[in-house]
A and B are shown apart, each in its own frame.
Chain A
Amino acid sequence: MNLLHFLNSFFSDGANWHGENGIPHRLVEHVEYSAIALAIAAAIGLPLGLFTGHTGRGGYALSAFATGARALPSFGLLVLMTVWLGQLGTTPAMVPLVALAVAPILVTAHEAIRNVDPAPVDAARGMGMTSLSVLFQVELPVALPLILGGLRSAAIQVVSTATIAAYISLGGFGRYIIDGLAQQTYAQVVGGAVLVAGLALVTMGLFWAVGRLVVSPGVRRRR
């Protein structure tokens, strides 16, 4: 049995294309977990990163927090949350995913804003822009490519890691991997892994497209 054979038997099996355990349904679940985790992480990380980057304060605390967050084992956190919270819907799975995603979003947002060329910022202040206008009209548009980069790497990590949700009886592509391992149906394991990898690639492409759309050509061409 080689890899292609596994893939063929998994993807050509009609049972895998509909119903609760069908690929479309699992995809929706996987995307849903990932999107919610990313949205929560961005809601925490972006404002904090933009604010600390703009004022230049809290950089030290931030890097300590980021190192800590990276050191947390997602799987351990998942088990801990389940023991602590019980089977409370998706919450026990969300906590490790959000913890994973906040660090790259927060740190890149902070660094991106802090590293904006000081000359235009000085010019903007000197022209009478308010502090908020300086942040949103001068710093943010220039920092946007880096900030999107932080969001992208957070998103990719979340998509890959969302497989662990299946450990606590949730759905997503993790189901194929966990069930496949349990039932020793390796075609299912390989199929699930390929689906996760594919989704991560699609996520990357999505962020590239968003970047093309929202980053000014004047900023994009410089890099």
Chain B
Amino acid sequence: MIRIESVTKRYPDGTVAVDDLTLDIPDGSITVLVGPSGCGKTTTLRMINRMIEPSGGRILLDGQDIAQQPVTALRRSMGYVIQNAGLFQHRTIVDNIATVPRMLGWDRSRARERARELMERVGLDAALAKRYPYQLSGGQQQRVGVARALAADPPVLLMDEPFSAVDPIVRKGLQAELLRIQAELGKTIVFVTHDIDEAIKLGNMIAVMRTGGHLAQFAPPDELLSSPADAFVEDFLGTDRGIRRLSFFTSAGLDVTTTPIVTVDADAAQIAERTLPELPYLLVTDAEGKPLGWAKAEELAAQAADSTGEQPADSTGEQAPDSADGQAPDSADAQAAGSTDAQAADSADAPAAESAERTAAERSPAPAAAAPLLPHGRPFVFGRESLRDALDCAVLSPTGWAVAVDGTGKAVGVTSQETIATAIRGAHARRAAKPDSPDGDAGEPVKALR
């Protein structure tokens, strides 16, 4: 454990960067230092590996005062990742990663072998091993930075705004990767960021710091969102902390119904039977059960009646794959394909998938004479994603109902905003009764898979 004990950093000109800070950083988890610029978060981090020496107080690593340890040995026992990766541009990727093992006296081939192993761990293609840093994208460089910090398998990892300089989509990927690596390795990570969303996403514990180097609150993210210590923390968290806190509640217990779901070839009887009194829409799925979009129940019924009463050749739309009119089946196919692609990409990259899906829905209009399909928005993965995702789906959906899918993208049910609201109240009540235990059995897994 890293224990920061009444540490103060005062510069010769009188500026106080960190003021009497005391913090216990737990082992094997991610502790995030977050705050506005000038709050002393980076100074605090840099005092842990003695890049900056405190002017008062002390820092203990596993009970030993770090000021008593040789500085190079101390730093070699801690991985260090900085904002722009700080790669050595004259060394190949594999040699960059092998730096610390080489310093520790490993022979070259063993160090390189270890470096290649780490490239795989952080999701870098082995073909990049012999490249130079300038040949890599910013996101790839940052992965190399993380691999380099992990190379000698240090128990502690210090990360100073590592993902601040990459674009939001790459950042999201790097954050997910860090959570995945952490789930495998269980390092003690101290992570500095100015981004409260990043802090909530990554941190097991979050230390919110305010200007002048004071600790405003030290708490797990869920607690931070539900009960901020003061007006500063509340203001720093922003206006939608209630919504964001829903990320910590699993969608597993949510009531979903399969009643208003029909396949594209449903007949009039099925349509009538499945229409709910409170929902004038039906979710249309393809033959495999993947959602295509919402249709007005009455239009769908009228259309089903049409197609049963007339020759298949005269009917249009999804009901007639062998139709003489070539346009209609094509566009139905296109819509199904677009939807499937979006789901496949979904797990990797939600916003991209979402937009891809929207464009797919806009691009392929419903068949001319068939009931027009409304886009179903981004479905949520039932049980794996949080109540926040479910609520977001419901809010985005034109019908006000969210679509739940399983891991393969097949619809497993739909649920209304009201049902989700009930589930939220229930989750809050359960959390209030047992404040220490995460909701259900899925507190951390929900976090890790977001």
Instruction: Give A contacts to B, CB under 8 Å.
Output: 117, 119-130, 133, 137-138, 141-142, 215-219, 221-222
Number of interface residues of B (CB under 8 A): 30
Q: Which residue of A lies closest to B79 (CB)?
A: A127
Select B91's contact among A119, A121, A127, A218, beta carbons within 8 Å: A218
Q: Which residue of A lies closest to B89 (CB)?
A: A218
A217–B131 Cα distance when bound, in Å, is: 10
Residues of B within 8 A of A221 (CB): 132, 134
Residues of A within 8 A of B163 (CB): none
Knowing A119-B84, A120-B88, A218-B91 are in contact, say whether A128-B132 is a contact too (CB < 8 A). Answer: no
> B49 at interface (Cβ–Cβ under 8 A)?
yes
Interface pair A122/B86, CB less than 8 Å apart? yes
A125–B73 Cα distance when bound, in Å, is: 11
Knowing A119-B83, A123-B86, A218-B133 are in contact, say whether A128-B91 is a contact too (CB < 8 A). Answer: no
The 3 A-B pairs with the shortest beta carbon distances in the complex, nearest first, are A218-B132, A123-B86, A128-B75
> B158 at interface (Cβ–Cβ under 8 A)?
yes
Select B99's contact among A127, A141, A222, beta carbons within 8 Å: A127
Knowing A130-B72, A218-B132 are in contact, say whether A119-B90 is a contact too (CB < 8 A). Answer: no
B192 CB, min distance to chain A CBs, angstroms: 13
Interface pair A218/B103, CB less than 8 Å apart? no
Query: Using a CB-CB cutoff of 8 Å, which residues 151-173 of chain B contact chain A?
Result: 158
Interface pair A141/B100, CB less than 8 Å apart? no
> B74 at interface (Cβ–Cβ under 8 A)?
yes
> B76 at interface (Cβ–Cβ under 8 A)?
yes
A127 CB, min distance to chain B CBs, angstroms: 5
Knowing A142-B89, A222-B89 are in contact, say whether A125-B51 is a contact too (CB < 8 A). Answer: yes
Interface pair B103/A126, CB less than 8 Å apart? no
Q: Mark B265-308, 1 if CB is under 8 A from A, else 0.
A: 00000000000000000000000000000000000000000000
> B448 at interface (Cβ–Cβ under 8 A)?
no
Knowing A218-B134, A222-B134 are in contact, say whether A127-B100 is a contact too (CB < 8 A). Answer: yes
> B417 at interface (Cβ–Cβ under 8 A)?
no
A137–B89 Cα distance when bound, in Å, is: 11
Interface pair A126/B89, CB less than 8 Å apart? no
30 A-B pairs with CB atoms under 8 Å apart are A119-B83, A119-B84, A119-B86, A120-B88, A121-B86, A122-B51, A122-B82, A123-B85, A124-B88, A124-B99, A125-B51, A127-B75, A127-B80, A127-B99, A128-B71, A128-B73, A128-B74, A128-B75, A128-B76, A128-B100, A129-B72, A141-B90, A216-B132, A218-B90, A218-B91, A218-B92, A218-B133, A219-B89, A221-B132, A221-B134
> B190 at interface (Cβ–Cβ under 8 A)?
no
Residues of B within 8 A of A137 (CB): 88
A128–B90 Cα distance when bound, in Å, is: 19
A219 CB, min distance to chain B CBs, angstroms: 5
Residues of A within 8 A of B99 (CB): 124, 127
Instruction: Give 15 new A-B contacts, CB below 8 A, not counting A127-B103, A218-B91, A221-B134.
Output: A117-B89, A119-B82, A123-B145, A127-B149, A128-B71, A128-B73, A128-B103, A138-B88, A142-B88, A142-B90, A216-B90, A216-B91, A216-B132, A218-B134, A219-B90
A138 CB, min distance to chain B CBs, angstroms: 6
Instruction: Give B contacts to A, CB under 8 Å.
Output: 49, 51, 71-76, 80, 82-92, 99-100, 103, 132-134, 145, 148-149, 158
Interface pair B103/A129, CB less than 8 Å apart? yes
A to B contact number (C-beta, < 8 Å): 79
B85 CB, min distance to chain A CBs, angstroms: 7
Interface pair B87/A120, CB less than 8 Å apart? yes
Residues of A within 8 A of B72 (CB): 128-130
Residues of B within 8 A of A142 (CB): 88-90
Residues of B within 8 A of A123 (CB): 80, 82, 85-87, 145, 148
A103–B201 Cα distance when bound, in Å, is: 55
A217–B89 Cα distance when bound, in Å, is: 9
Q: Which residue of B lies closest to A137 (CB)?
A: B88
B103 CB, min distance to chain A CBs, angstroms: 6
Select B85's contact among A119, A121, A130, beta carbons within 8 Å: A119
A19 CB, min distance to chain B CBs, angstroms: 49
Residues of B within 8 A of A215 (CB): 90
Residues of A within 8 A of B51 (CB): 122, 125-126
A123–B84 Cα distance when bound, in Å, is: 10
B329 CB, min distance to chain A CBs, angstroms: 52
B137 CB, min distance to chain A CBs, angstroms: 15
A158–B382 Cα distance when bound, in Å, is: 78
Q: Which residue of A lies closest to B73 (CB)?
A: A128
Residues of A within 8 A of B90 (CB): 141-142, 215-216, 218-219
A148 CB, min distance to chain B CBs, angstroms: 14
A142–B89 Cα distance when bound, in Å, is: 7
A76–B237 Cα distance when bound, in Å, is: 73
B146 CB, min distance to chain A CBs, angstroms: 12
Residues of B within 8 A of A120 (CB): 86-89
Q: Which residue of B lies closest to A140 (CB)?
A: B90
A219–B92 Cα distance when bound, in Å, is: 11
Residues of A within 8 A of B91 (CB): 216, 218
A211 CB, min distance to chain B CBs, angstroms: 13
Residues of B within 8 A of A138 (CB): 88
A221–B131 Cα distance when bound, in Å, is: 12
A121–B87 Cα distance when bound, in Å, is: 9
A119–B85 Cα distance when bound, in Å, is: 8
Q: Which residue of A lies closest to B81 (CB)?
A: A123
Interface pair B83/A126, CB less than 8 Å apart? no
Q: Which residue of B lies closest to A141 (CB)?
A: B90
Q: Which residue of A lies closest to B46 (CB)?
A: A126
A141–B88 Cα distance when bound, in Å, is: 9
Q: Which residue of B lies closest to A217 (CB)?
A: B132
A123–B51 Cα distance when bound, in Å, is: 10
Residues of B within 8 A of A218 (CB): 89-92, 132-134
A183–B49 Cα distance when bound, in Å, is: 74
A190–B369 Cα distance when bound, in Å, is: 95
